Amino acid sequence: MRGRAMRRFHVTGLVLLAVSPALAQSTAVTVGDGWAVVREERTLAFSNVEQAVTLDDVAAEADLSSLVFWSEREPIQLLSWSREMLVHDSDEPGDEETRTWTPGGKKSDKGVPVIGPLSCRLLAESTGSRTVQMAYLMTGLTWRVSYNVLVRGDPSNEQERISVDLDGNLMVMNATSKTFSNALLRIVGSDTAAEAEQAEPGILMMDDSPLADLWLKKKAPTPVSFLYNVPSRAFLRAHAETEMSLVASARKPADRLYRLITADYPLNEREQTKPLHRVISLENAPSYGVGQALPAGPARIFRGSYRATLAQQAWFAHTPASATFRIDLGPTESVLGSRRSLGRSPVVAGAYEEQFSVLLENRLSSPADIEIEDEPATSLQWEIVRASAPYVVSGRRIVFSVEASPKSQVDVRYTLRVREPTY
């Protein structure tokens, strides 16, 4: 029979005396890509303004250099912390099952870390019992989200009403040794931008640099991170994956929209006609069973009354609360578009104007709502001075709204004034 000896190491800023443990009463976990911020609420009794406490349930994977304490009642200062690391060795020389853990708590080739309780010495301004918040960063947690979209009705038949079922599932991967029970869960993610595709050479508006080649591949923008609240409390078991519902909405009426992004329609000497994308839009509102910000993720789009026919796979973009979901069903020959430049001319010193035309053809026997999105391909300052259709400017994007009558063509014209730099 094998016996095992136990050795103890301390990772410490000051060796402390053990006191009664203080367990977490509530926990909030914010999960990112491979990391998490854990916030816990505990009731601590201070018999002296400088008090030692023992915490039995702090994760082994916690980065204790990030550990902080605070209280709404008064400041709480962390003076020092220590944590006992246990090392088990076989009492038989040469035993290949010997397991060793370093004070850093990293996994060895033959085992997992065994971590003792965390001891902290805290400094308060007064004695007595109080509610204290603590937070720390840890590694080992990540998440992913996926969506299932069921489109009821025929999107190509403008006379038929359509509705949408939207289901979003969240999967949290907890590779740590700690189980989180009844935790308030939030996730952090970005709307990952697809790598810019190489476009055909066109008429350049970027005259401020000889290296301004519109057809060269553009650098992807820096992703912007967003914080999302998960509607239900979470039970995240250690070393396991947990799946939960993020959103569930059924049979909600949706609208059709046809979308043209000018970057997909290069400016050439010869006019190129291409199909517009058919888009289904759904309000992100409480009355539609949603009304919360939703993260970006892959989506499977089904058509029909049941999820038997997979129509396509798509990317579900980040959608703020009270915004509109956009479900792109791909190009359609029912509505076509082309774009061209009608020329440029100087207007005042240091500025010129260029006029553009977007020709739309609605082949449907019913009206079509069309959206044109243009982000002028120039780094110079510009403004729109004339337009034949209503528009909204957001940042450096112009969005036109057009209603095309059945079996008709619409020529949307607009003029940009571009200001050249002065030296």
CA distance 330 to 360: 17
Amino acid, res. 144: R
> Residue 234: is its pLDDT beyond 90?
yes
SS3 197: coil
HSE of 67 in the Cβ direction (CA atoms, 13 Å)?
Answer: 23
> Residue 407: is its pLDDT beyond 90?
yes
pTM summary value:
0.73
Pairing of strands 240-253, 310-316: unpaired
162 confidence band (pLDDT: 50, 70, 90): confident
Question: How many residues are recorded in the chain?
Answer: 423
Task: State the average pLDDT over residues 143-156.
Answer: 87
CA distance 122 to 51: 5
When comparing pLDDT for 106 and 382, which is higher? Answer: 382
Task: State the average pLDDT over residues 207-219.
Answer: 46
> Residue 43: is its pLDDT beyond 80?
yes
For the chain, give the percent of residues with pLDDT over 90. 51
Least confident interval from 48-57, 90-99, 162-171, 397-406: 90-99
Least confident interval from 25-39, 104-118, 348-362: 104-118
SS3 377: coil
In degrees, rounded to 5, the angle at the alpha carbon of residue 401 between the alpha carbons of residues 395 and 404 is 160
> Residue 102: is its pLDDT beyond 60?
no
| pLDDT value for 21 | 55
Q: Residue holding tokens 């002065």? A: 422
CA distance 233 to 379: 46
DSSP single-letter state for residue 205: -
| pLDDT value for 19 | 47
CA 371 to chain centre: 25
Average confidence score pLDDT of the chain: 81
> Residue 390: is its pLDDT beyond 90?
yes
> Residue 139: is its pLDDT beyond 50?
yes
Q: Is 396 exposed, middle or buried (0-12, 13-18, 19+ CB in 10 A)?
A: exposed
Per the DSSP assignment, residues forming a β-bridge with 116 are none
Pairing of strands 381-387, 408-419: antiparallel
| pLDDT value for 305 | 67
Could you report the per-residue pLDDT of 61-81, keeping only the tens digit for each? 999 999 999 998 899 999 999
CA distance 240 to 233: 17
Q: Mean pLDDT highest for which of 185-194, 293-302, 395-404?
A: 395-404
> Residue 303: is its pLDDT beyond 60?
yes
| pLDDT value for 22 | 64
Closest CA to 230 of 184, 173, 286, 299: 184
CA distance 290 to 422: 50
CA distance 248 to 234: 17
**Terminal C-alpha separation, the chain:** 87
CA distance 345 to 349: 11
| pLDDT value for 218 | 53
Pairing of strands 368-374, 180-190: unpaired
| pLDDT value for 2 | 39
When comparing pLDDT for 198 and 243, which is higher? Answer: 243
